Chains A and B, each alone.
Chain A
Amino acid sequence: MNQFPFSDNDLNSAARAAMDSMLRSLPPLEEMQHEFSPAFESQMAKVCEKERHRSSLRKITRRVAILLVTCLVGFGGWLTMDGDARASFMQWVREQVDDHVEYRYVGKAPDASIQDYYAAWLPDGLEPTEFYSMDNMGGVYYEHPEGEFCTLGYSYMDEGTTLHVFPSDEMQHEITEINGMPADIYEELGEYFCTVVWMDEDAGITFDIGGNIPKEDVIHMAESVQQGTVLELLPEYTCTWLPAGYEAAGGIKGSHKRSMTYLGEGEDFVSLDYHLLDGKPLTNFYRVREYTGMKKVKIGTFEADLYFNTDNDQTNELIWYNHETDIAFHLTAIEDENTMMKIANGMALR
């Protein structure tokens, strides 16, 4: 019996009315103007900068996740009939959630980094063009000169992570097996587009392959997936010198990009990332938005742009291009010019 003279529904509508009233009691947003102190602005600029870096890392993570798992696939009647599939040991669960299908997992991923995988068989003309790997996931992007493309993704089944499949209208779903492992095939009818998701329950890894290629080719690729690295990784650079107190805090390795973040005390951080330009302009990758000034400096024999802020609490950024390796480097830190230069000049191949 409810001990209160109101139901949750009463509370929901009353709380929304109270919140609206609270907001209406404030002046219009444009009329609430306050000139914040320089100390506040400086602290918040630092917070924003740090969040920008976190956000970049999340975007890269999401990018990998998208590369691995996200595709827009058809939405068949099967979903309403079979909206909930559970593996025999509850290692993973497939559910329809609103307008998409979610695969969720039970249990934690192993501590060891995931191995790299690739498809040993490819349809004629399809070539691997990019590869990424992080601690618990990785992916390979394949392209055909005439526009076909395909992704292979793999990730640890890790509680708290989900794999999403976003359906469109005309999809046929089929429950099957890939090399004896439980699998779902999502095939677009009337055109070539197919995704297969399969679970290696022994290894605790979810795989998926999807692209605008025929179902038979997707299945053939899936059956050929094996451990190994399909593309050469960018060489690994490391900071041989950092101010005291910094520790490596993770990064991404890949065929076209690598990154590494080092965290110091408090808000301090050093972020290093570098891209293989591969014919693309440098501005596709790096654009500095907020800085007091820019000066030309030298990192080794290479010209570099140092974007600096006179406020000691804001980040400085150093960008340079090594034309011998076709790699552009980007170093960001809340450190002064001399320290930035020392970090950059201390970078070396591992």
Chain B
Amino acid sequence: MLAYVQMLESQDEKTKFEQLYLKYRNAMYYAADQILQNQQDAEDAVQQAFLSIIKNMDKIHGVDSAETYGYVVIIAERKAIDLIRQRGHFSAMDFESACFGVTMDVPGDGGVGDAIARLPAQYREVLLLRHAHGYSTKEISEILELSYEAARKLLYRAKIALKNQLDKEGAAL
């Protein structure tokens, strides 16, 4: 079977970004509003999230997948938390370690999955990006707008936090 790819694409075709925008903007708002509890702020966070998504469009492979849904929710959550941090007078470390982000149930495995779900948002996010989405440290640094070294340290700290969480829960692996 041999064929050259047809070169002209439909003028009516929505860009992948527009499809993402139309499909997930309400869910992203929902996630951001859970954290910010303010319409204006939540919309600001959603807008910031979409600007971040644009910069990393190459990391999104399909509009309708659970991975993509999870990704956009994580980004909306991150932007909402960033907004609080930027507007408040918090020590970044103290604030992040006390911020749990969106309300979520635990998977119920009585082990690592539950412990991940109970981590502060910044650790959960980076572990999901790495281990549920499979992004490399470099990709995570681009997604979270961190230096490579900062992303590497964040991943390490997330694993330490996960180990501590497991110890705390006395979870069996």
Q: Could you say which interface size class chain B belongs to?
A: 35 or more
Residues of A within 8 A of B (CB): 4-6, 8, 10-27, 29, 32-34, 36-37, 39-40, 43-44, 47-48, 51-52, 55, 59, 63, 66-67, 70-73, 149, 151, 168-169, 188, 191, 193, 212, 285-287, 289
Q: Does B113 contact A (CB under 8 A)?
A: yes
Q: Does B93 contact A (CB under 8 A)?
A: no
Top 9 closest A-B pairs, CB basis? A15-B131, A14-B112, A17-B113, A17-B107, A15-B132, A14-B113, A18-B116, A25-B104, A19-B132
Chain B positions within 8 Å of A188 at CB level: 2
Q: Does B47 contact A (CB under 8 A)?
A: yes
The interface bits of chain B over 93-118 (1 if a CB of A lies within 8 angstroms of the residue's CB, else 0) are: 00000000011111111011111110
Contact partner of B70 (CB less than 8 A), chosen from A19, A47, A72, is A19
Taking a contact as CB atoms under 8 Å apart, the answer to whether A73 and B2 are in contact is: yes
Q: A14-B131, A47-B47 are in contact. List 17 more A-B contacts (CB 8 A).
A: A4-B162, A5-B163, A10-B112, A15-B116, A15-B130, A15-B131, A20-B107, A22-B117, A25-B103, A25-B105, A26-B31, A40-B46, A48-B17, A70-B4, A71-B2, A193-B2, A286-B11
A150–B173 Cα distance when bound, in Å, is 60
Chain A positions within 8 Å of B66 at CB level: 19-20, 23
The smallest beta-carbon distance between B129 and chain A, in angstroms, is 9
Taking a contact as CB atoms under 8 Å apart, the answer to whether B50 and A47 are in contact is: yes
Taking a contact as CB atoms under 8 Å apart, the answer to whether B117 and A44 are in contact is: no
A94–B52 Cα distance when bound, in Å, is 34
Q: A24-B105, A188-B2 are in contact. Are A34 and B29 (CB under 8 A)?
A: yes
Contact partner of A32 (CB less than 8 A), chosen from B18, B26, B70, is B26
Taking a contact as CB atoms under 8 Å apart, the answer to whether A72 and B3 are in contact is: yes
Chain B positions within 8 Å of A59 at CB level: 9
Complex A-B: 15 CB contacts under 8 Å: A4-B162, A6-B173, A11-B127, A14-B113, A18-B116, A18-B132, A19-B70, A20-B107, A22-B104, A23-B70, A23-B73, A34-B25, A51-B18, A72-B1, A285-B11
A193–B166 Cα distance when bound, in Å, is 60
Taking a contact as CB atoms under 8 Å apart, the answer to whether A26 and B111 are in contact is: no
Taking a contact as CB atoms under 8 Å apart, the answer to whether B132 and A151 are in contact is: no
Taking a contact as CB atoms under 8 Å apart, the answer to whether B163 and A14 are in contact is: no
Chain A positions within 8 Å of B17 at CB level: 48, 51, 55
Chain B positions within 8 Å of A66 at CB level: 4-5, 7
Taking a contact as CB atoms under 8 Å apart, the answer to whether A16 and B2 are in contact is: no
Contact partner of A34 (CB less than 8 A), chosen from B12, B30, B132, B173, is B30
Q: Does B86 contact A (CB under 8 A)?
A: no
- A51, A63, A66 — which one has the most chain B CB atoms within 10 A of its CB? A51
A40–B133 Cα distance when bound, in Å, is 29
Q: A37-B40, A55-B17, A67-B7 are in contact. Are A10 and B103 (CB under 8 A)?
A: no
The smallest beta-carbon distance between B41 and chain A, in angstroms, is 12
Chain B positions within 8 Å of A63 at CB level: 7-9
The smallest beta-carbon distance between B3 and chain A, in angstroms, is 6
A73–B114 Cα distance when bound, in Å, is 48
Q: Does B91 contact A (CB under 8 A)?
A: no
A11–B159 Cα distance when bound, in Å, is 10
A316–B116 Cα distance when bound, in Å, is 48
Q: A21-B105, A22-B70, A23-B73 are in contact. Are A44 and B47 (CB under 8 A)?
A: yes
A212–B17 Cα distance when bound, in Å, is 36
Q: A4-B163, A15-B131 are in contact. Are A36 and B113 (CB under 8 A)?
A: no
A10–B127 Cα distance when bound, in Å, is 12
Contact partner of B112 (CB less than 8 A), chosen from A6, A48, A151, is A6
A6–B16 Cα distance when bound, in Å, is 37
A8–B70 Cα distance when bound, in Å, is 20
Chain B positions within 8 Å of A72 at CB level: 1-4
